[in-house]
C-alpha cells in the first residue's frame, strides 16, 4: 500500500501493512534469549541458538581410527537445528605417551547430515617427547550440512601409543 496525503488508514489496512510487517522483524520473532538471526532465503530470517558443552573428565584411546574415549562419556555432543552452515569450535588438552606420535580430535556429524570425522578438519598434536601436553582449540566453518537437526560429536584417534584427552569442549553456532 502507498500512503496518500489526506487519506485515512482503516484498521484492516494498518494491520496488514504496518502491524503484520513489524511482526516479521527480528525483534518480533525473537523467542530465545541470546539467540541470533540468519537469512535462510530471500527476505526470510530464522532464529538460531548457539550451543556448547564441556567435559573435564580424562579419557584415553589407542585407536588409530576415530572413536570414543575409554573411561569417559561419549563426546562432548551438541545437537542443534542448522541451515547448510555452522561454525564449529572445539578444544581439548591432549598428550601421547609415545614421542612423535600424534593425537587428534575431530568432529563427526549425524542427523540430517552424515559427515565423518577427518584429519582434514582435526585439531592435532604431535609431541616431541612422551607425555608432552598441549591445550588448544580449533574452528571449522562447516558449509556442507543438510539443513535440519544435526548432532555434532567429538571423536579421537592417535597415530600410535596411548592418547590422553581432557578438558574437552564443543561449541556449535548454526547458520
- The three cell numbers locating residue 77: 555432543
- 2 inside domain: no
Say whether both 89 and 151 belong to one domain. yes
For residue 66, the model assigns a pLDDT of: 98
- 55 inside domain: yes
Say whether both 85 and 18 belong to one domain. no
Tally the C-alpha atoms within 13 A of residue 80's C-alpha that lie toward its C-beta. 27
Domain containing residue 65: 50-174
- 35 inside domain: yes
What average pLDDT score do residues 153-174 get? Answer: 97
Say whether both 36 and 84 belong to one domain. no
Domain CATH code at residue 134: 2.60.120.1340
Which pLDDT tens digit goes with each residue over 40-99? 888 888 899 999 999 999 999 999 999 999 976 789 999 999 999 999 999 999 999 999
Say whether both 98 and 134 belong to one domain. yes
Predicted confidence band at 26 (pLDDT cuts at 50, 70, 90)? confident
Say whether both 147 and 169 belong to one domain. yes
Say whether both 117 and 84 belong to one domain. yes
Say whether both 39 and 112 belong to one domain. no
Which pLDDT tens digit goes with each residue over 88-133? 999 999 999 999 999 999 999 999 999 999 999 999 999 888 888 8
> Could you give the CA distance from residue 73 to residue 52 in angstroms, rounded to a whole number?
16
Say whether both 33 and 59 belong to one domain. no
Say whether both 30 and 59 belong to one domain. no
Number of CB atoms found within 10 A of residue 160's CB: 13
- 107 inside domain: yes
Task: Tell me which residue has cell 572445539.
Answer: 90
- 31 inside domain: yes
- 119 inside domain: yes
Say whether both 35 and 67 belong to one domain. no
Q: How many domains are there within the chain?
A: 2
The whole-model pTM stands at 0.85
Say whether both 127 and 91 belong to one domain. yes
19-33, 49-63, 159-173: lowest mean pLDDT where? 19-33
- 3 inside domain: no
- The three cell numbers locating residue 43: 527476505
Residues in the chain: 175
Q: Cα 48 to chain center, whole Å?
A: 12
> Could you give the CA distance from residue 20 to residue 150 in angstroms, rounded to a whole number?
32
What average pLDDT score do residues 9-36 get? Answer: 87
Say whether both 77 and 39 belong to one domain. no
DSSP string, 85-152: -EEEEEEEEEEESSTT--EEEEEEEEES--B---GGG-EEE--SSTT-EEEEEEEEEE--PPSEEEEE
Amino acid at each position: 500500500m502507498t500512503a496518500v496525503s489526506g487519506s485515512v488508514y482503516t484498521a484492516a489496512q494498518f494491520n496488514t501493512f504496518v502491524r503484520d510487517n513489524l511482526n516479521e522483524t527480528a525483534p518480533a520473532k525473537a523467542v530465545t534469549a541470546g539467540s541470533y538471526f540468519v537469512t535462510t532465503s530471500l527476505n526470510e530470517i530464522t532464529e538460531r541458538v548457539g550451543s556448547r558443552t564441556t567435559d573435564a573428565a580424562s579419557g584415553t584411546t589407542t585407536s588409530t581410527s576415530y572413536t570414543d574415549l575409554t573411561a569417559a562419556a561419549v563426546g562432548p555432543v551438541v545437537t542443534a537445528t542448522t541451515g547448510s552452515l555452522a561454525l564449529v569450535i572445539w578444544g581439548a588438552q591432549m598428550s601421547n605417551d609415545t614421542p612423535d606420535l600424534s593425537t587428534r580430535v575431530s568432529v563427526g556429524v549425524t542427523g540430517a547430515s552424515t559427515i565423518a570425522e577427518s584429519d582434514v578438519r582435526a585439531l592435532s598434536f604431535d609431541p616431541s617427547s612422551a607425555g608432552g601436553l598441549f591445550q588448544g582449540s580449533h574452528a571449522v566453518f562447516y558449509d556442507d550440512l543438510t539443513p535440519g537437526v544435526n548432532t555434532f560429536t567429538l571423536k579421537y584417534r592417535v597415530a600410535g601409543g596411548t592418547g590422553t584427552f581432557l578438558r574437552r569442549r564443543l561449541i556449535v553456532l548454526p547458520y
